[in-house]
Amino acid sequence: MKCLIVAAGQGSRMRDKGECKPLIELDGIPILERVILNARTGGLDDFYIVTGFRGTKVRSFLDELSDRENITISHIINDEWQRPNGLSVYAAKDHIEGPFILTMCDHLFDPEIIKDVLSSDHDEDTVTLCVDYNIENPVIDLEDVTRVNCTSKKIDNIGKVIRDYNAFDTGIFYCTSAMFDALEQSFREGDESISGAMNVLGALNKARTFDIKGRLWLDVDDPTAFGKAIVYVNEGKL
């Protein structure tokens, strides 16, 4: 099963930990490597990594990782990495056929989430977002997390500033080509984000959600989250 990982952004809030966010080490292992290895444990075996900022350095590391761990890794380059993350996903349109898992280079997660979503049935021409219904989760940064108003069959709204929500976006998606079509429409409407595409899919009744059932995930987006990640890694939870 294919996995698309977005690793193109600058990660400026983590600059004091290192100049290249995907390669910042957590207990001696770069964040991006941890994401890839977790995804492989979850059942993914064909990786497509979108790079941009410090791309040459990241791609060199990925080539070394591919050889060392015998992992199939293909490079996708987003030269417009300064723009919203939907551009990085769309850059994969001509590289990936069939369903794939989409995630971010800084989102650590329990591999069981991937196993569960892969073993579930999915409607054709839809995109499924893995969501966390524990909106009291103390691990989550409420100032930064993407919020979702949804049921299992429908997403009514998604965004960082929406007030009416009942779940969090974990940054893990089961995608079909519908994701690329939705990105194109969202771009035309002036929104270049992944959330914009999910709102398009929601309006078309093509957005689904998958409950991660309280399993652990963490967006390592700033020094505070990095500190939490260190604790969980040392405890063997991530």
Give me the number of domains the chain comprises.
Answer: 1
pLDDT at 23 (0 to 100): 97
* Contacting residues for 121 by C-beta, under 8 A, at least 6 apart: none
pLDDT in tens, 184-218: 999 999 999 999 999 999 999 999 999 999 999 99
pLDDT at 79 (0 to 100): 96
pLDDT at 18 (0 to 100): 82
Q: Copy the structure tokens of residue 14.
A: 């983590």
pLDDT at 17 (0 to 100): 82
CA distances for 36 relative to 22, 43, 69, 133, 134, angstroms: 11, 11, 10, 25, 25
Say yes or no to pLDDT of 19 above 90.
no
By CB atoms closer than 10 A (0-12, 13-18, 19+), residue 83 is middle
pTM value surpassing 0.95? yes
Mean pLDDT over 150-159 rounds to 95
Say yes or no to pLDDT of 69 above 90.
yes
Query: 73 lies in which domain range?
Result: 2-234
Mean pLDDT over 22-32 rounds to 96
Mean pLDDT over 92-100 rounds to 97
Mean pLDDT over 77-82 rounds to 96
pLDDT in tens, 218-234: 999 999 999 999 999 99
**Three-class secondary structure of residue 141 per DSSP:** coil
DSSP 193-233: SHHHHHHHHHHTT-EEEEE-TT--EEE--SHHHHHHHHHHH
> pLDDT-derived band of residue 140, with 50, 70 and 90 as boundaries?
very high
Write the CATH number for 108. Answer: 3.90.550.10
Report the amino acid identity of residue 162: I
Q: Copy the structure tokens of residue 201.
A: 């899919």
113 in Cβ contact with 42 (< 8 Å):
yes
Share of the chain above pLDDT 70, in %: 100
> pLDDT-derived band of residue 238, with 50, 70 and 90 as boundaries?
confident
Beta strands in the chain (DSSP E): 2-7, 25-26, 29-30, 46-51, 72-77, 100-104, 107-109, 127-132, 147-150, 155-159, 167-175, 207-211, 217-219
> pLDDT-derived band of residue 129, with 50, 70 and 90 as boundaries?
very high
